[in-house]
Amino acid sequence: MTQTVPTLYVKTGCPWCAEAIDFLNERGIAYTPVVVTNNAEAMDAMFKLSGQAKAPTLEWNGEVLADFGAEELEQFLAAKGVI
């Protein structure tokens, strides 16, 4: 089963989250944003996926990239053959 759209967990005001959003948008990569700020259920889901509470966190096809910057995101997507 292939998940065609990744889930991106972000926090309001997080500069790394904004960078990840810009990166994905600039490359036309669709994603489902989940804002964890003031959302205990979403924060819990992110924590269960990644084992930590830092954002951004990206989940795609069972693979998780947590607490990353644009360089790590680019490497993750390149390894998946997305970019």
Phi-psi region of 57 (alpha: psi -120 to 50; beta: other; left: phi over 0): beta
Q: How far is CA 57 from CA 40, 71, 77, 78, in A?
A: 15, 14, 13, 17
> What tens digit of pLDDT does each residue of 37-83 get?
999 999 999 999 999 999 999 999 889 999 999 999 999 999 988 88
The correct answer on CATH 3.40.50.300 for the domain covering 7-77 is no
Instruction: Identify whether the C-beta of residue 50 lies closer than 8 Å to the C-beta of residue 64.
Output: yes
Domain ranges of the chain: 7-77
Which tens digit of pLDDT belongs to each residue from 12-25?
999 999 999 999 99
